[in-house]
Amino acid sequence: MLNMAQIIGHLGRDPEVRYTPEGTAVANLAVATNETWKDKDGAKQERTEWHRVVVWGKQAEIAREYLTKGRQIYVEGSLQTRQWDDKDGQKRYTTEIRCQRFVMLGGRGGESERTAPEPEMPEDPAYNDDNIPF
């Protein structure tokens, strides 16, 4: 089976970085992708899709240091859906891309593209996302 997502988009805000109780960095990214097409009347149409991206470990620290709102990035990872109960006891769900690799595109000031190192994901396959502090 294959669970893989690849997107190229722009950051909608600066990364939000937090740390697990064990000290592992976790960054949340909001990445926008755009789709354009012409409708049946020939008028240009555009739609923006927002993607939640979670980056772990050293990559999260690199994201905090180098990524800023508006920056274009390539993200590669797997889709994951999490569930939690809100303050009213209602079940809530979110689907996000669990980043395995990202590349900063469109360098600024002559910078070339930069690839973040491979992630430091928890090794335990039964890792519980309850350790995420948000």
Tens of pLDDT, residue by residue over 80-131, are 999 999 999 999 999 999 999 999 997 654 344 555 544 444 444 444 455 4
CA–CA separation, 73 and 71 (whole Å): 6
In a domain, 57, yes or no: yes
CATH number of the structural domain spanning residue 97: 2.40.50.140
In a domain, 133, yes or no: no
CA 109 to chain centre: 24
Percent of the chain at pLDDT exceeding 90: 78
In a domain, 81, yes or no: yes
In a domain, 59, yes or no: yes
In the chain, the number of structural domains is 1
* Residue 16 structural domain: 5-36+43-124
In a domain, 129, yes or no: no
In a domain, 132, yes or no: no
Structure pTM? Answer: 0.74
In a domain, 131, yes or no: no
- Yes or no: say if 78 and 53 are a contact pair by the CB < 8 Å rule: no
